[in-house]
Amino acid sequence: MIRVNENYLKLKASYLFVDIAKRVAAFTAAHPEKKVIRMGIGDVTRPLPPVCIKALHEAADEMAAEATFKGYGPEAGYEFLREAIAENDYRARGCQIGADEIFVSDGAKCDTANIQELFAGDIKIAVPDPVYPVYVDTNVMAGRTGENVGGRYQGFIYLNSTAENNFIPELPKEKVDLIYLCFPNNPTGAAITKAELKKWVDYAKENKSLILYDAAYEAFIRDESLPRSIYEIDGADEVAIEFRSFSKTAGFTGTRCAFTVVPKKVKAYTSSGEAVALNPLWNRRQSTKFNGVSYPIQKAAAAVYTAEGKAQVKALIDFYLENAKIIREKMTSLGFACTGGENSPYIWVRTGCESWSFFDKLLNEAAVVTTPGSGFGSCGEGFIRISAFNSRENVIEAMNRISSVLGN
Ligand code: MLT
């Protein structure tokens, strides 16, 4: 008899964004005449930067000629891209990260999900609340939690991110082995300072814990005093793995390219306390289960690091940040407390009522899709997240519609 992985049965029936898509589909079916504006899932709307398109075309031409055709590429990524990442994203900011510590992949979502294969089944895990649901659900799937009781899985240590702590959680009171952090944060949009991040690095060093640092939104940081990488903190290369993505930086959500940094110094321990380097283990995992990102896509990603590419990416992010400013200002003027939207594409809005009812009100009365905060965890109840990834025209129209529905 084939038996099922019963851990899957502990999960909520569907993934948050699937739930939202169902409600939106029902609304659209009932009101085909209404133009729905989607500010829910953080999916980019602007085309790829021209340098990336040019690189894609050139790489496609290379695939058309026998002399330049490429078959399987290196599983961890082509050297030209790994080196460009190490140089521009890290060494240029004073972080001593080498190309052989970069693993190119098809998404930060998959990497944050897959990395937990490297850890024992009975480790203690701390996750922020609210949180990107992938960190939680994938550990549930792997059997690292108990049942969901009152919206929280037993076995996790939840780190509350609330208005009282400016959405930067406090250190756990007990010892934990694995810590998920994401800054600028999805969903709250909060950014962390170097001093606050240092406390986490110090905690991890003291407790032999590991931090999984999701920096998918670092390109939105405009405040130069804020860290863009955890490796800007001394000693973090001993206790942190960092995830990055070209999705939100350069519009690659549909194109797929990301990377994970596993420094050679980062270790996990056997039950007898022997240190094991994680870089070779991740390399082993990727080379066994992953065949790399396609050559044309890696060429397109590498183009982001040319002088032209940097300017085009900055313009792209500036555009979304201006959207974020418009949203934040409008929601604030309507009397809603907001966080994020400054070094982040997400605006976290306190609704003053239950998240899903506020979501439904905006969908039904304004035809605007947001994300209910409670979908990210129980501390998200009473909030919605608005994404700034949209056209200027749609953002302005959505804000006008919301003003007419919610304005006095
Ligand atoms: C989000 O809306 O939270 C993101 O689009 C999710 C993702 O990047 O997978």
pLDDT in tens, 282-337: 999 999 999 999 999 999 999 999 999 999 999 999 999 999 999 999 999 999 99
Report the pLDDT averaged over residues 160-169.
Answer: 97
User: Looking at ligand 1, which atom is closest to the CA of residue 248?
Assistant: 8
Assess whether 67 and 195 both reside in one domain. yes
Among 267, 282, 307, give the residue marking a domain's end. Answer: 307
pLDDT on residue 199? 98
> What average pLDDT is seen over the chain?
97
pLDDT, tens digit, 9 for 90 and up, residues 84-105: 999 999 999 999 999 999 999 9
- Chosen domain end from 291, 307, 323: 307
In the reported structure, the alpha carbon of residue 42 is separated from the centroid of ligand 1 by a whole-number distance in angstroms of 5
**Model confidence pTM above 0.85:** yes
Residues 67 and 38 in one domain: no
Length of the chain: 408
Q: Is residue 253 in some structural domain?
A: yes
Return all residues near 404 (Cβ < 8 A) that are at least 6 apart. 366
State whether the beta carbon of 186 lies less than 6 angstroms from ligand 1. yes
Instruction: Read off the amino acid at residue 280.
Output: P
Q: Ligand 1 centre and the CA of 304: distance in Å?
A: 21
Find out whether the beta carbon of 42 lies less than 6 Å from any atom of ligand 1: yes
**Which amino acid is located at 138 in the chain?**
T
Query: Which of 24, 39, 43, 385 is the pocket-test mutation for ligand 1 (most atoms within 8 Å of CB)?
Result: 43
Indicate whether residue 109 lines ligand 1 (CB < 6 A): yes
Give the number of C-alpha atoms closer than 13 A to the C-alpha of residue 297, restricted to the C-beta side. Answer: 21
pLDDT interval class at 408 (50, 70, 90):
low
356: Cα within 13 Å, side-chain hemisphere = 10
Instruction: Report whether residue 41 contacts ligand 1, using a CB cutoff of 6 Å.
Output: yes
Q: Does residue 237 share a domain with residue 155?
A: yes
- Judged against a pLDDT cut of 80, whether residue 400 lies above it is answered with yes
24's enclosing H/E stretch is helix 16-30
Long-range contacts of 331-337 (CB under 8 A, 24+ apart): 331/386, 331/402, 334/402, 334/403, 334/406, 334/407, 337/163
Does 66 share its domain with 190? yes
Q: Is residue 334 part of a domain?
A: yes
Q: Is 270 within the bounds of a domain?
A: yes
Q: Which atom of ligand 1 is the closest one to the Cα of 41?
A: 2
The CA radius of gyration of the chain, in Å to the nearest whole number, is 21
CATH number at residue 391: 3.90.1150.10
Which residue reads 């949209």 in tokens? 390
14 has a pLDDT exceeding 90: no
Task: Tell me, yes or no, whether 299 lies in a domain.
Answer: yes
pLDDT of residue 16: 86
Query: Residue 13 pLDDT more than 80?
Result: no
pLDDT of 171 strictly over 80: yes
Q: State whether 107 and 177 are in the same domain.
A: yes
267 and 136 both lie in a single domain? yes
Residue 33 lies in a domain: yes
Which residues, in sequence order, are CB contacts of 268 under 8 Å at separation 6+? 118, 119, 210, 275, 276, 278
**Whether residues 209 and 92 fall in one domain:** yes
Separation of 322 CA from ligand 1 center, angstroms? 20
Domain containing residue 259: 53-307
CATH code of the domain containing 72? 3.40.640.10
Spatial contact of 76 and 184, defined as CB atoms under 8 Å apart: no
For 188-222, the pLDDT digits (tens) are: 999 999 999 999 999 999 999 999 999 999 999 99
Tell me if 299 CB under 6 Å of ligand 1: no
7 CA distance to ligand 1 centroid (A)? 23
How many whole angstroms separate alpha carbon 398 and alpha carbon 36? 9
CB distance 191 to 184 below 8 Å: yes
Task: Tell me how far the alpha carbon of residue 41 lies from the centroid of ligand 1, in angstroms.
Answer: 6
Give the residue whose CA is nearest to atom 1 of ligand 1.
Answer: 42
Q: What are phi and psi of 200, to 5 degrees?
A: -70, -40
Please state whether beta strands 383-387 and 371-372 pair in parallel, antiparallel, or not at all (unpaired).
antiparallel
- Tell me which residue has tokens 């032209």: 308
Residues 244 and 321 in one domain: no
Judge if 256 and 233 occupy the same domain.
Answer: yes
Domain presence at residue 1:
no
Q: Which residues pair with 245 in a beta bridge?
A: 258
For residue 314, give the nearest of 249, 255, 251, 224 by alpha carbon.
249
d(CA 132, CA 115): 15
* Residue 212 and residue 358 in one domain: no
d(CA 69, ligand 1 centre) in Å: 34
Residues 191 and 325 in one domain: no
Four-point Cα dihedral 174, 109, 164, 206, nearest 10: 30
43 CA distance to ligand 1 middle (Å):
7
pLDDT digits (tens, 9 = 90+) for 233-285: 999 999 999 999 999 999 999 999 999 999 999 999 999 999 999 999 999 99
Question: Are residue 156 and residue 198 in the same domain, yes or no?
Answer: yes
Percent pLDDT > 70 in the chain is 100
CA of 312 from ligand 1 middle (Å) equals 22
Residue closest via CA to ligand 1's atom 5 equals 42
Closest protein CA for atom 6 of ligand 1? 42
Look at the chain and report how many structural domains it folds into.
2
Q: What is the mean pLDDT of residues 120-135?
A: 97
Q: What integer pLDDT is reported at residue 15 of this predicted model?
A: 79
The structure tokens listed for 267 are 């270790």
Q: Is residue 193 assigned to a domain?
A: yes
